[in-house]
Structure 1
Amino acid sequence: MTQTGTLQLSSSSAVALKGGDTSTFTQVTFPSPFPRGSTVIVVPFVQTFAGPDTPGLRIADVTVTGFKIRMNELAGSGKALSDGTHTSETVGWIASTV
């Protein structure tokens, strides 16, 4: 089973640097839940080029009903490489079971 979708995603927050803190993530719900007990994988990709800085994406908490996503401009060695704010971009995603 495979599902796809798009969403408009932006960032008004600083670059997230603390693993596990999903307080600034956006919840995405699959059009149809995957079967209970499934292992789900999600592959997102930015579809547009609206902002000048590289819009990194972070995924968290993937379940059979959805996932959390955040635009997180680049970070390296535990430090932000930009201010973190980013204009709205279209993000496409594909989700499937293993």
Structure 2
Amino acid sequence: MSMIQTGRLQLKSDNAQATQGGNTSTFTRVTFPAPFPSGSTVIVLPFTQTFNGPETPGIRIADVTATGFLIRFNEVRTSNGGSDGRHAEETVGWIASTV
């Protein structure tokens, strides 16, 4: 039987674009309201729910465990064609489920 949890947070990025795999120092930790059962395989689906910044905020997820996950914006593209990684504060909703 699957277990599902949901939540939302305010997220912004004041950091440069994350380009080095495994470096999660600029990510934000999200803790689930209740831990999933030990040994569960958990997936997280995040969704940007507001439109406060004009550029597209890419969302990166890392370190998904039974107790939570790491998240950050990694801006996809700016109006000048590049990306500096920074993005205005947005509301991000998420769904987490066991599989």
TM-score between the two structures when normalised by the length of structure 2 = 0.92
In structure 1, what is the equivalent of residue 69 of structure 2?
67
TM superposition outliers: structure 1 runs of 4+ over 6 Å? none
Residues 54-85 of structure 1 deviation map (CA, whole Å, 9 limit, x = unaligned): 0000000000000000011127xxxx931111
In structure 2, what is the equivalent of residue 26 of structure 1?
28
Q: How does 1:71-90 map to 2 (within 5 A)?
A: 71-74=73-76, 81-90=82-91
Confirm or deny that 1:39 pairs with 2:19: no
Query: Which structure features the higher share of strand residues?
Result: 1
**Unmatched tracts of structure 2, length 5 or more:** none
| SS of residue paired to 1:73 | coil
**Aligned equivalents of 1:88 and 1:33: distance in 2?**
27
> How many residue pairs get matched?
94
In structure 2, what is the equivalent of residue 4 of structure 1?
6
- 1:97 alignment partner AA: T
| SS of residue paired to 2:83 | coil
In structure 2, what is the equivalent of residue 94 of structure 1?
95
- 1:89 alignment partner AA: E
> Alpha carbon RMSD of aligned pairs, Å?
1.3
- 1:84 alignment partner AA: G
